[in-house]
Amino acid sequence: MSTTTSNHSTGTPLTVLSEDEAMFRQSVREFAEGEIRPRVEEMEQHAKLDPALIKHCFDLGLMGIETPEEYGGAGASFFTAIIAVEEVSRVDPSVGVLVDVQNTLVNNAILRYGNTEQKRKYLPQLAEKSVGAYALSEAGSGSDAFALQTRAVAAGEHYRINGRKLWITNGGEADIFIVFANADPEAGYRGITAFIVERGSEGFSVGKKENKLGIRASSTTEIILEDCLVPKENVLGEMGKGYKVSIETLNEGRIGIGAQMIGLARGALDAALSYTAERQQFGKQINQFQGVQFQLAELAVELEAARLMVYNAARLKDAGLPFVKEAAMAKLFSSRAAEHIASKAIELYGGYGFVKDYPVEKFWRDSKIGAIYEGTSNMQLQTIAKLITTGKQTLVP
């Protein structure tokens, strides 16, 4: 059974959702409005997520959406996770990326590449109480992810890992990290291996927390590994196949960032629609001026296009069809749309848009990260170009 849901401002598009998906969307929206919105300003000021809110995310089942029920998760689809990220990001993209990284990167990597023992040990924790983080980037290894310098050396029943990771989302809250290190530098990228590392591991520490432009409540930290001992059973996937883990996981994660961006854009446009309906100049509401109406219409069209691109990529992924090109396109376009819509929302607010008493300046600051993390816009263009010119379906060797 399916249902068509629509919000005649800019909310849910005229797209077919299953009854369960529609109900889930509504429950997440109620949570976002009731529990997240009252905390947004304080979390922004203190640059820290409210621990009670993180617990609410676990209690509502938002941190293990695709995780099978046998491991304590909801056993739902990837598209369901995308709905959650979108709805949460409509109120606060900082919370949106918490949910996104947990589901589309950390849980996803363990579900796809973990062995039975790893799934039994870590997936219930990630579904019920433990935040996860994905540690790939380094100071000299951003877009060139395979240039990473973190090294792993066998030491009896452990690997000894040394290196520093930067820009780690959820680093301040996470207890479980997926860390990438090269265990065979002479093999180049084919020496890269993924490891599951727990916060309490010997030689592991969380370093500097970044003072960011946007998504300030979301922690972005340095991870320091100094002779960090990781049991050999914590190798995720095969030795030397970490490059495959990273590429394939990030392909799905980009759809999650697309969902964050369309949620953010919805929040900004909804705020602009509300404000222009209230603000009066020259004796009438400013949304009665054709010039304002046309701007709002253009933004609504841009948002709808971005949303449908994100939804299409998610549906392709769930259907087991090729989606890498569509994921790159969705992230590229949605990040551009979010920044543009939030910027125009500021202009529609006028002087009020430029001050922190109103929500749209935060949406604009939050939007900028969409063109940077989980693959910059230039890297998305490169991916799209390679796939359309070669006719290939994947970039993984």
CA distance 338 to 304: 11
Cα dihedral 139→163→209→335 (10° resolution): 50
CA distance 150 to 137: 10
| Residue 272 · residue 292 · CB < 8 Å | no
User: What are the two backbone dihedrals, phi and then psi, of residue 257, each rounded to the nearest 5 degrees?
Assistant: -65, -35
CA distance 303 to 271: 14
Structure tokens at 20: 């369960």
Reply yes or no on whether 374 is catalytic.
yes
Residues serving a catalytic function are: 374
